[in-house]
A and B are shown apart, each in its own frame.
Chain A
Amino acid sequence: MKRFVPLLLPLPVALCAAALLLPLAPLEGPPDLARLILLELRLPRLLLGLGYGAVLGLTGAALQALFANPLASPDITGASSGAALGAVIGSTFLGLASPLAMGASGATGAALALLLLFAVAGRRPDAATLLLAGLAISLATGALTSLALALAPSPFAFYEAFDWLMGSLVDRSLGQAAAALVPALFASALLARRAAALDRLALGEDVAASMGIKPERLRQEVVLFSAIAVGACVAVCGAVGFVGLIAPVIARRLTRGHPGRALLPAALIGALILVAADLLTRLAPLGRTIPLGVVTASIGTPIFLWVLLGMRGRMTS
């Protein structure tokens, strides 16, 4: 499979170009307007797509390695919806306006959701326990997010629920993109340095500990860095599902099953998936825009089911 990787290199470039240039029609107007569209609308959107997608792929891979479970991901564990709840509470009730402060409250929400999941499901939960506990946390935080928006002082807040729960990269400024991506990149770099430790964790916590890895500290680091990265992105773009689940699954096929070594490939694949999904939302017929979460769910659900069936096969054998 590695032999084919160089053949795929033009793909990211073509995808980024398409994300900037499509649809073409708005760019055919006056050059000033075209420049504005490119720099103020499409560039932040592309950067957020790449960065948020990479964060989802990377944190998904790290959480899967940590939980020793290919179904763990920011959305399945409830981290994404916890981040959305944190950011919504921050903006509607605490009066936070700066994207960085919202990112911090998003990160807090994500971290609390992950800690709750550990408390409910344990360290190495089986698939059913992980799914059920994550589902409970996602449903509860999703409902609380809607409630928070319904009770918000601003009458328009409720209409934002869609963006928070389905995700959107539309109409974000370069400043917002920077506020999401700078902390996310920082946390992601720290997370990526744990790749070798996460590979050794595949041999079990005891063996990893005998090799000098502190499983408890590794767990805290993965939770903290994932929460910061996901929280910062969700605070700007809302919760996007499925990318963090499927990117690591694809990545591990390139890394001979190693969960830690899959971190960086998963980031790359996640970036490409999210940019492609966002492109699809714009290219829908009838001039309507499809919500981002709908596109990622349509791509992700078949792969999710495929993973689930694969696990069922292994568990019964």
Chain B
Amino acid sequence: MTPLLHAEVAAPPHLQAMSLEILAGEKIALIGPNGSGKTTLLRTLAGIDDDASSVHIHGESLALVPPARRAKLLAFLPASRDVRWPIPVRDVIALGLAKPDPARVDQLLERLRLTDLAERPVDRLSTGERARALLARALADRPSLLLLDEPLSNLDPAWALRTLDLLDEVANEGCGIALALHDLSLIGRFDRVWMLDHGRLVADLPPAKLLSSPEFASVFEVEPASTGWTLRPSADRRSSP
């Protein structure tokens, strides 16, 4: 089966060379400590920075496709929820479409329970509401690949779970998803986990295997515990008296 995404990442000095693939319908959680390169990797896969990486989606080189085609291939959702202009929610979602499609916008408004806020300027929403509006924008053109940077931060627990359900639906329709995740308790919802550390891909494993791997313990310095996570005694502390 040809992968949905094939990327040869070369973005020094922040990322070391790595070769990545995502299958259609596959959900990848991207984890790693702060500064490990999660955002940089998503930006590289989204073709934002001019670096030497090569990214192919459905076999099409991202560097060569015209902008209208790009909207069908991928959508990138940054961690920043910043929108500087008071554009109504409905119109923000429509900005994600290469061609106008009011029915699709209505559908997303309803799906993300934003219908009542449709005419409200996006800068007058709460952070969580704005996060939903911007996620709807990313979903608008039914892209083949979703690259989401911390889409669950700022969401209350119910909306974090609803968002994961929504992403399950999208993945069932064949969309590949790579999602930078901070809340490690949610990685069970994903098919595979990419773990980054200092710009290196240190693990590419299913979630169950990852949690018991030595790499996980050494990168995150935490261990699963009955209460959630517990700090792992670090190597330097163990060696001191």
Which A residues lie at the B interface, using CB under 8 A?
68-69, 124, 199-200, 202-204, 206-207, 209-213, 252, 256-259, 314
- State whether B67 touches A213 (Cβ < 8 A): yes
Question: CB of B38 within 8 A of chain A?
Answer: no
- State whether B87 touches A256 (Cβ < 8 A): yes
| Contact stretch, chosen from B12-20, B42-50, B188-196, B210-218 | B42-50
Of residues 1 through 50 on chain B, the ones whose CB sits less than 8 Å from some CB of chain A are 43, 46-49
Of residues 174 through 205 on chain B, the ones whose CB sits less than 8 Å from some CB of chain A are none
- State whether B65 touches A212 (Cβ < 8 A): yes
**Interface size in chain B (residues, C-beta < 8 A):** 31
Which B residues lie at the A interface, using CB under 8 A?
43, 46-49, 65-67, 70-71, 74-78, 80, 82-88, 91-92, 95, 121, 123, 134, 137, 147
Among A202, A209, A212, A213, contact of B85 (Cβ-Cβ < 8 Å): A202
- State whether A257 touches B65 (Cβ < 8 A): no
Among B43, B75, B82, B91, contact of A258 (Cβ-Cβ < 8 Å): B91
Residues in A with CB closer than 8 Å to B74 are 210
Give the residue name and chain of the B residue nearest to A216 (CB). Answer: B50
- State whether A200 touches B84 (Cβ < 8 A): no
- State whether A258 touches B76 (Cβ < 8 A): no
Among A124, A200, A212, A259, contact of B66 (Cβ-Cβ < 8 Å): A212
From A210, A257, A258, A314, name the one whose CB has the most chain B CB atoms within 10 angstroms.
Answer: A210
Among B47, B65, B87, B137, contact of A209 (Cβ-Cβ < 8 Å): B47
- State whether B48 touches A202 (Cβ < 8 A): no
- State whether B48 touches A206 (Cβ < 8 A): yes
Q: How many whole Å from B180's CB to the nearest CB in chain A?
A: 13
- State whether B137 touches A203 (Cβ < 8 A): yes
How far, in whole Å, are A206 and B78 apart by their CA atoms in the complex?
A: 7
How far, in whole Å, are A314 and B123 apart by their CA atoms in the complex?
A: 8
Given known pairs A207-B78, A209-B47, the reply for A68 and B85 (CB within 8 Å) is yes
Residues in A with CB closer than 8 Å to B65 are 212
Residues in B with CB closer than 8 Å to A314 are 123
Q: How many whole Å from B29's CB to the nearest CB in chain A?
A: 20
Q: How many whole Å from B12's CB to the nearest CB in chain A?
A: 19
- State whether B75 touches A210 (Cβ < 8 A): yes
Give the residue name and chain of the A residue nearest to B122 (CB). Answer: A257
- State whether B76 touches A206 (Cβ < 8 A): yes
Give the residue name and chain of the A residue nearest to B86 (CB). Answer: A257
Among B70, B95, B121, B147, contact of A203 (Cβ-Cβ < 8 Å): B95
Q: How many whole Å from A18's CB to the nearest CB in chain B?
A: 35
Q: How many whole Å from B51's CB to the nearest CB in chain A?
A: 12
Given known pairs A203-B137, A257-B87, A258-B87, the reply for A211 and B71 (CB within 8 Å) is yes
Q: How many whole Å from B48's CB to the nearest CB in chain A?
A: 4
